[in-house]
Amino acid sequence: MTKPVLLLTRRFPDAVEARARESYVTIPNPSDVPMTGVQIVRAAAQAGVQGLFCAAGDPLNAETIAALPESVRIIATFSVGTDHIDLAAAAARGILVTNTPDVLSVATAEIAMLLILAAARRGGEAERMLRARQWVGWAPTQLMGVTLEGKRLGILGMGRIGQALARMARGFGMKVHYHNRNRLPPEEERGAYYHAQEDSFFSRIDVLSMHIPGGAATRHWLNAERIARLRPGSIVVNTGRGSTVDDAALCAALHTGHLRAAGLDVFDGEPRIFEGYHSAPNLVMLPHLGSATVETRDAMGLRCLDNLDAVLLRGEAPPHPVG
């Protein structure tokens, strides 16, 4: 059988690209420079691509999808998030979309825990001070943070990542609260306190960790009004999507001190960073590292290939369809 053609929009882990080459003719992107929509369409048309192996941030909007050649049957994204893909446009073209759930939950929860710790214990400020050669020695009141033990962690979006974070936070002696569309069954809730209403959630928590998807429905969910309802001295962490935070409002609350600190792994319009964040000492930032472990990125890639193989090699339904 002739091998189907795959367009790899980014450079993926070696083990993943090697497995892809076994079953497909691959069009790689060794430079790893993100492709524009026009470049994706042109490359797909030139090579008669059947599968798009893409990643978070690729501009698979309605315009790009409408212009894809007829040959494209599946868009397999190397991410759990799908806010970079216009799902309605793909459905209208009869193009399947798949993602990579489950395998990145622990890695992303680790980054959320890292940010919670760094924000509470002022890890970013401390590291910046050392690198600037400004440490003059130990002092009784230097860079005092707050301990996590006994604090209430509020998880917004108690899916797989939120639940993995809850397990880790309990190890630090935190009490877990959550706000979600639906209450979880007891075996998943594991004693976490469910808040059906935002008001009771906001009034009880010391740390807010955000795990909600991007897209129009959640744009700027954390706005000035909601930030004002958080208890003074709260900490905010976001490892979901940058678009869910109103940057100007978060930045203002960090500067006034209403928020003690924040930790961000994702940014609205990344890699662009809201200008005010650069001068917020009580903010610790990471460059979208949530799933960035060797184990997780390999697993994500293999999951993409499982989806592609089902559709393009066996003519079956993919194991991880979206929508």
Instruction: Please list every residue from 275 through 294 that binds ligand DGY, using CB under 6 A.
Output: 290-291
* The one segment of 7-15, 36-44, 78-86, 144-152 that binds ligand DGY by CB under 6 A: 78-86
- Give the residue among 48, 69, 67, 60 at the shortest CA–CA distance from 88: 60
Count CB neighbours of 307 within 10 A. Answer: 27
Is 244 among the residues that bind ligand DGY (CB under 6 A)? no
State phi, psi for 147 to the nearest 5 degrees.
-80, 150
Count CB neighbours of 81 within 10 A. Answer: 21
How far apart are the C-alpha atoms of 286 and 120, rounded to whole Å? 16
Is 209 among the residues that bind ligand DGY (CB under 6 A)? no
In the Cβ-directed half-sphere of 205, how many Cα atoms lie within 13 Å?
A: 30
From candidates 75, 89, 104, 261, binder to ligand DGY by CB under 6 A: 104
Closest separation in Å from C-beta 290 to ligand DGY: 5
- Give the residue among 229, 234, 319 at the shortest CA–CA distance from 282: 234
Interface map 13-52 toward ligand DGY (x if CB under 6 A): ----------------------------------------
Interface map 160-179 toward ligand DGY (x if CB under 6 A): --------------------
State phi, psi for 157 to the nearest 5 degrees.
95, 85
- CA distances (Å), 94 to each of 75, 81, 82, 109, 322, in order? 11, 20, 17, 34, 13
Contact present, 104 and 300 (Cβ < 8 Å) = yes
Closest separation in Å from C-beta 182 to ligand DGY: 22
288 a catalytic residue: yes
Catalytic residue among 84, 226, 255, 270: 270
270 a catalytic residue: yes
3-state secondary structure of 322: coil
Is 81 among the residues that bind ligand DGY (CB under 6 A)? yes
* The one segment of 21-29, 73-81, 202-210, 307-315 that binds ligand DGY by CB under 6 A: 73-81
Is 111 among the residues that bind ligand DGY (CB under 6 A)? no
Is 56 among the residues that bind ligand DGY (CB under 6 A)? yes
Contact present, 74 and 44 (Cβ < 8 Å) = no
Give whichever of 40 and 104 is closer to ligand DGY, judged by the CB atom: 104
Closest separation in Å from C-beta 80 to ligand DGY: 4
- Residues of this chain that interact with ligand DGY (CB under 6 A) are 56, 79-81, 104, 290-291
